[in-house]
Amino acid sequence: MSDRVSLLAVAVAGRGVVDPAEPVLRADDEALLRGRAAFETIRVYGGRPFKLVEHLDRLAGSAERIGLPEVNRLELEQLAQQALDAAATQDAVLRLYWTPTPVALALVNELGDHYDALRERGQRLISLRGVRADEPWLLPGVKSTSYAVNMAAEAEAKRQGADDAVFVDSAGTVLEGPTTNVWWRRERTLCTPSLDLGILAGVTRATVLELAGESGYTVEEGQFGLTELLAADEAFTSSSVREVMPVTELDGAPIGRGPAADELQAALRRAAGATLPA
Ligand SMILES: Cc1ncc(COP(=O)(O)O)c(C=O)c1O
């Protein structure tokens, strides 16, 4: 089950579509030197990026918080369309980057089929100590390219035989995954950590919040301990690429499968107007 998927197309500001093998950044771009750039990862359904406006809003907010020049939304939208046209694929992953130079980039990657296989089986998670971004300089809610820590947590989870991690703070409060938001169900109530905890305001999290209400669930956003997640009737994660993904094990303890993850995954696909089966 490899996460490696191929890069199908790249579009760069001022140049348009380029060969994916071509260099696109200057050597002194702080995106490279310091991990100081904003980015977004967006799911493409039927050739259309889902919730593009919301992703561009978050990108603009991240860029402002990192102190980058103002995001040129129109340029990024055009680059996204050029890259998607060049990739000529229906279901894919679109990544948008905004660097300090500034350089705007749109990348289209293949989606791969490993996420659907993982959704069938359910994910095994381990809890790992993470940093609660409760000071402005810890950049709460910012999606920057300083993701080495997130990737190291994912690698540690895999090293321990799990699929992914969930970060908890030093008091055991559940935060988020390295690239996901975390949810669980107690009877008809869905719980998810609140944005006050400095976690990323997931675009999928916001969509699931809406869909949960429509599906008859009550949602509680708050500060919850790991024991509450361990005692859940079911649990799942949300993210643009992995969508709604059931969790079947946490720190070696089984968590039951339940209806909410499947219902919300189906509702998400309907909302995306997807042609794929849910
Ligand atoms: C730390 C973190 N939390 C949550 C998410 C989920 O956000 P979204 O639903 O916008 O993909 C991501 C996405 O990459 C993330 O990196």
- The Cα 124–Cα 87 span in angstroms is 33
pLDDT at 112: 84
Collapsing DSSP to helix, strand or coil, 177 comes out as: coil
Task: Name the residue with tokens 């699929």.
Answer: 163
Nearest CA to ligand 1 atom 5: 180
Q: Which atom of ligand 1 is nearest to the CA of 143?
A: 16
pLDDT in tens, the chain (278 residues): 344 569 999 999 999 999 999 999 999 999 999 999 999 999 999 999 999 999 999 999 999 999 999 999 999 999 999 999 999 999 999 999 999 998 999 999 999 889 999 999 999 999 999 999 999 999 999 999 999 999 999 999 999 999 999 999 999 999 999 999 999 999 999 999 999 999 999 999 999 999 999 999 999 999 999 999 999 999 999 999 999 999 999 999 999 999 999 999 999 999 999 555 55
- Distance of CA 15 from the midpoint of ligand 1 (Å): 29
**C-beta atoms surrounding 142 within 10 Å:** 19
Q: Residues lining ligand 1, CB < 6 A?
A: 41, 176, 179-181, 200, 202-205, 238-240
Task: Name the pairing type of β-strands 123-129 and 243-250.
Answer: parallel
- The Cα 162–Cα 173 span in angstroms is 20
Q: What are the two backbone dihedrals, phi and then psi, of residue 14, each rounded to the nearest 5 degrees?
A: 80, -10
Q: How many helices (H) and strands (E) does the chain have?
A: 8, 14
Task: Name the residue with tokens 């369309």.
Answer: 81
Q: How far is CA 223 from the centre of its chain?
A: 21
pTM score of the predicted model: 0.96
Task: Give the single-character DSSP code of 225.
Answer: B
Q: Which atom of ligand 1 is nearest to the CA of 207?
A: 9
Nearest CA to ligand 1 atom 7: 202
Task: Write the CB contacts of 252 (distance below 8 Å, at least 6 apart in sequence).
Answer: none
Report which secondary-structure segment, H or E, holds 78. Answer: helix 73-87
Q: Which DSSP string do the residues of 112-124 spell out, in sequence order?
A: -SHHHHHHHH-EE
pLDDT at 2: 41
Task: Give the single-character DSSP code of 174.
Answer: B
Q: Which atom of ligand 1 is nearest to the CA of 200?
A: 3
Residue from 104, 106, 102, 100 nearest 44 by CA: 106
Nearest CA to ligand 1 atom 12: 179
- The Cα 81–Cα 70 span in angstroms is 20
Nearest CA to ligand 1 atom 8: 202
- Distance of CA 228 from the midpoint of ligand 1 (Å): 22
